[in-house]
Amino acid sequence: MGSTRRQPDDDLSLHELIDGPTEILSAETRAAALRPQPGGRDRVDLPRMPAAGALYRRALLGSLPVPGAGRRRGPDLPAVELAVGGVTVDRAQLADYDRVCGFRLTDRLPGTFPHVLGFPLSLRLMTAPEFPIPLIGLVHVGNRITVHRPITADETLDFTTYAENLRPHDRGRQVDVVLVGSVGGEKVWEGVSTYLGRERRPGGGDRGGRPDAPTGSARWRVEPRVGTEYARVSGDHNPIHTSRLGARLFGFLRPIAHGMWSKARCLAALENRLPDAYAVEVAFKLPVPLPSTVSFALLPDGGFALHDSRGRPHLAGLLR
């Protein structure tokens, strides 16, 4: 990308939003790297972390309607586990991430930061031809993170990722994508992201009534630059977060905030309450449009929530 700075709410072309080389996992590369793992999965060790931007580009191009080029996806999850070792922390990236999400500037990684480090590996798994649900249109509906101990910026992490628990949902199918971070063979962090692949199904499910919004303890103004700044520090350049054009292509009137930014911002508000080891899970509700004003609320027994100015829920979470 060029050095000319743009205003955060300017529209960018898709090629400006998603660029960079990608890691092609050929049949020969995969065969050479395969190692059987417990649970019936084969392990594939990649030489480096894939480029997330290029994977988004491939997914977008693969979603375009091309006559005679339809791709059949398998009915089951791929029995494979991808791995990358020797991932180091860029302290400048960490500092930028802390600022964008509201964390204190320290050498201790926020609980959500390993997700950023390892997300391209999970993205590589989800963009594989054999993955049963196409990436484009996939909705991030939940995330659970377990921090087993503090991780510092001078530690080197090894990541593995795999998918499990493909199951029906009244609006399509759901799947869990697991990402595990280890240091010297010790599992120090684990994230489980739940995604919904929307499909047309009869009935459509009953959403039921909506409970009253809790009283907020803080109000945050979420500016358009949050989408572009979080994309820059996280590498998640999905255009629904950074471009009016990209958002409109997927049915949104304007860009929406990353769900993992919303979770990170809530976790930053709880930073003084976090023990060395904890688990934090969230369910993502309505997207946060950019710009907007949101209300953060603390609930009993470790709960927290994010709502819009009309009381509609964006996120419901629990810290344990």
Task: Name which of 252, 228, 303 is nearest 12 in CA terms.
Answer: 228
> Rg of the Cα trace of the chain?
19
Q: What pLDDT shows up at residue 65? A: 52
CA atoms of 119 and 52, how far apart (whole Å): 8
For residue 298, give every residue at least 6 positions away whose Cβ sits within 8 Å of its Cβ, in sequence order, or none.
Answer: 217, 304
Q: What pLDDT shows up at residue 179? A: 98
Task: Name which of 292, 296, 295, 306 is nearest 223 in CA terms.
Answer: 292
Q: What pLDDT shows up at residue 61? A: 62
Q: What pLDDT shows up at residue 22? A: 38
β-pairing, 80-87 vs 42-45, is: parallel
Q: What distances in angstroms separate CA 301 from CA 44, 113, 145, 317, 319, one per listed residue?
A: 41, 25, 18, 11, 8
What average pLDDT values come out for the chain (320 residues) when binned by 10 residues?
36 32 46 59 95 73 52 78 98 98 98 97 92 88 98 98 94 95 98 89 55 86 96 90 90 95 98 97 97 96 95 97
CA atoms of 62 and 71, how far apart (whole Å): 9
CATH ID of 27-62+76-201+216-319, from 3.40.640.10, 3.10.129.10, 3.40.50.300, 3.90.1150.10: 3.10.129.10
Beta strands in the chain, from DSSP E residues, in sequence order: 34-36, 42-45, 80-87, 138-147, 157-169, 172-183, 186-198, 218-222, 278-284, 292-298, 303-308, 313-319
Q: What pLDDT shows up at residue 186? A: 98
Q: What pLDDT shows up at residue 101? A: 98
Element (H, E) at 226: helix 225-234
Q: What pLDDT shows up at residue 238? A: 84
Complete edge-to-edge strand list for the sheet that includes strand 303-308:
34-36, 42-45, 80-87, 157-169, 172-183, 186-198, 138-147, 278-284, 313-319, 303-308, 292-298, 218-222
Tell me the domain boundaries of the chain: 27-62+76-201+216-319
For residue 50, give every residue at least 6 positions away whose Cβ sits within 8 Å of its Cβ, in sequence order, or none.
Answer: 22, 23, 120, 121, 123, 124
